[in-house]
Structure 1
Amino acid sequence: MNPIQIAIDGPASAGKSTIAKILASDLNFVYVDTGAMYRAITLAAFQAGVKPEDEAGVTALLPDLTITFEPGEPVQRVFLDGTEVTEAIRSVEVTANVSAVSAYAAVREAMTALQRDIAAKGGVVMDGRDIGTTVLPNAEVKIFLIASVAERAQRRFKENQAKGMDTTLAELEVAIEKRDYLDSHREISPLKKADDAVELDTTGLSIDGVVAAVKDIIATKTNK
């Protein structure tokens, strides 16, 4: 396949990262986990003793932060200033505060610039919440994944159980609904389906089923 840009957006736990990673591997494209970037900044704030609601404090950290990725199994490895934070950025504390941090103009500007640089040559699968609308508005393929709150909470619950985290299913449903609201109502680059994106409901679908559906969409969009 030609080195195109594929943008996958959607709310928390809709399956974006899982599908994007598999798709990138199958197509031999670069996978960019934009959510991990915002999570890394949120973690950096906590490590520096800066409260997530302190926009000036978070912004002041940006010039000195370095976020890099390395291939890994079963997940891509994430490094903050040379230290691996793959697991740390998935903590309940980071998850609960990443929406606030990712809403700051300076944070989004810095991350958008980095994401565009990575995608400039094409051959990239990028997932997030504003990829098709803001980061890569000219992407050849745009997909918007959705799923019910109950399904997404169940997915996150299973992930947390595997990691030994004891957050209840009810707590996760509340957290996901809150994050949906924050992401879709933020002033800068809110969660929104691009006009030319194809919406795909993943509720009740297996991972293989979603991957197959996404590949069909790509084939239709690229006529291949």
Structure 2
Amino acid sequence: DGEDVTEAIRHPRVSSQVSQVAAHLPVRKELLKAQRILASQGGVVMDGRDIGTFVLPNAPFKFFLTASLATRSKRRFLELKTKGIEVSLEEVEKEIKQRDFLDENRNCAPLVAAPDAEIIDTTTLTVEEVVEKITNRYWGRA
């Protein structure tokens, strides 16, 4: 319907439930169908933990972004703090660890880098540096 829900889906209340909801096969099947229809129309960039392995295994470009747990926790903590959401760094780290564990151990489409994905460790990179790496690869400059 054109409504931008970016902020709403990044709220801790939603983030903490994503892995559990995604583990339900009927939900995954419906989302998979919708994601593939969207991708078939072209000109799309998808972000998700199973896009390159499960949703679009034949995508021409796949990037698997990773970072240390400490870095991911700090980034998420600062993001939430900026939004006025009170949470401790320890809570954020615990939530990320739990989500990683659930996603890595689910039966359907567990979290793993696609064999043909370019792995980018973002631990010491800025957002701009990550974007530059990806766009350079896309335009054949890397």
Q: Name stretches of at least 5 consecutive residues in structure 2 with no aligned partner.
A: none
Matched, 1:159 2:79: yes
Matched, 1:131 2:51: yes
Deviation at residue 181 of structure 1 after TM alignment: 0.6
CA distance in 1, matches of 2:2, 2:110: 25
Matched, 1:182 2:102: yes
Deviation at residue 69 of structure 1 after TM alignment: 4.4
Other-structure match for 1:24: none
Q: Name stretches of at least 5 consecutive residues in structure 1 with no aligned partner.
A: 1-67, 71-76, 79-85
More strand by percentage: 1
- Cα RMSD (Å) of the superposition? 1.7
Letter of the 1:152 counterpart: R
TM-score, length of structure 2 as denominator length: 0.92
Deviation at residue 115 of structure 1 after TM alignment: 0.4
- Following superposition of structure 1 onto structure 2, how do residues 51-66 of structure 1 map, counting pairs within 5 Å? none
State the secondary structure of the residue aligned to 1:211. helix
Q: Say which of 154, 158, 172 aligns to 2:92.
A: 172
Deviation at residue 121 of structure 1 after TM alignment: 2.3
CA distance in 1, matches of 2:72, 2:115: 24
Deviation at residue 105 of structure 1 after TM alignment: 0.5
State the secondary structure of the residue aligned to 2:115. coil
Q: Structure 1 stretches (4+) deviating beyond 6 angstroms?
A: none
Matched, 1:149 2:69: yes
CA distance in 2, matches of 1:128, 1:88: 16
Other-structure match for 1:106: 26
TM-score, length of structure 1 as denominator length: 0.60
Deviation at residue 87 of structure 1 after TM alignment: 3.7
- Following superposition of structure 1 onto structure 2, how do residues 38-53 of structure 1 map, counting pairs within 5 Å? none
Deviation at residue 216 of structure 1 after TM alignment: 2.1
Deviation at residue 169 of structure 1 after TM alignment: 0.4
% identical aligned pairs? 47
Tell me the alpha carbon deviations over residues 85-135 of structure 1, each in whole angstroms, 9 at most, x when there is no partner: x44433322222211011110111000100000110221111101111111
